[in-house]
């Protein structure tokens, strides 16, 4: 028979784990959002570079310093993008130890550093959830919409949806 302390510890452990998993997913989401921004910057730099090259060619000028500056700027942005992609891959395609944070191979059952048993969950679900939660939420209740007026629902609803499970006003 499991005593109450064991049950409580297990519950707490699961809660902690869920918290850490969510944190990881947030990290991935942040990196993804960051990459979208960086991609935007890169596009701007390409445009700038294109505009310079166009102007120089049109006027028969030469300004390789300016072009070099743009190339360097783009290279730096691409490097950051690459780093972020790597971090995302590391976080998503590795099993992170819930105890020490070491990134283990996905196939690993135990952490190679501290020996903690690794959890294998589909992190993509968490990621999708976190990405979805950044979208503006609509407060509209699906169904007949009489949830707001519950208590006198049968009078205000007036729609023939007595079975509607989202209604909740019997």
* Cα→Cα distances 122→57, 98, 116, 119, 148, Å: 53, 15, 19, 10, 37
The yes or no reply on residue 117 touching Zn ion (CB under 5 A) is no
The yes or no reply on residue 102 touching Zn ion (CB under 5 A) is yes
The yes or no reply on residue 97 touching Zn ion (CB under 5 A) is yes
**Nearest distance in Å: CB 99, Zn ion:** 5
Secondary structure letter of residue 21 according to DSSP: H
Binding segment (CB under 5 A) for Zn ion, from list 30-38, 66-74, 107-115, 137-145: 107-115
The yes or no reply on residue 100 touching Zn ion (CB under 5 A) is yes
Best CA proximity match to 21, nearest among 107, 170, 127, 138 = 127
Q: Which residue has the tokens 């952490």?
A: 111
The yes or no reply on residue 27 touching Zn ion (CB under 5 A) is no
Residues that bind Zn ion (CB under 5 A): 97, 99-100, 102, 111, 113-114, 116
């Amino acid at each position: 028979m499991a005593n109450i302390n064991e049950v409580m510890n297990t519950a707490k452990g699961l809660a902690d784990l869920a918290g850490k998993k969510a944190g990881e997913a947030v990290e991935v989401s942040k990196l993804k959002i960051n990459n979208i921004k960086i991609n935007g910057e890169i596009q701007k730099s390409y445009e700038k570079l294109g505009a310079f090259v166009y102007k120089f060619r049109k006027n028969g000028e030469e300004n390789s310093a300016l072009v070099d500056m743009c190339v360097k700027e783009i290279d730096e942005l691409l490097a950051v993008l690459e780093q972020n992609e790597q971090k995302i891959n590391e976080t998503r395609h590795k099993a992170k130890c819930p105890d020490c944070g070491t990134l283990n191979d996905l196939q690993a059952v135990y952490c190679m550093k501290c020996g903690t048993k690794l959890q294998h969950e589909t992190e993509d679900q968490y990621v999708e959830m976190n990405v979805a939660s950044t979208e503006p939420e609509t407060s509209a209740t699906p169904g007949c919409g009489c949830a707001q007026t519950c208590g006198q629902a049968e009078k205000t609803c007036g729609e023939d949806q007595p079975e509607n499970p989202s209604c909740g006003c019997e």
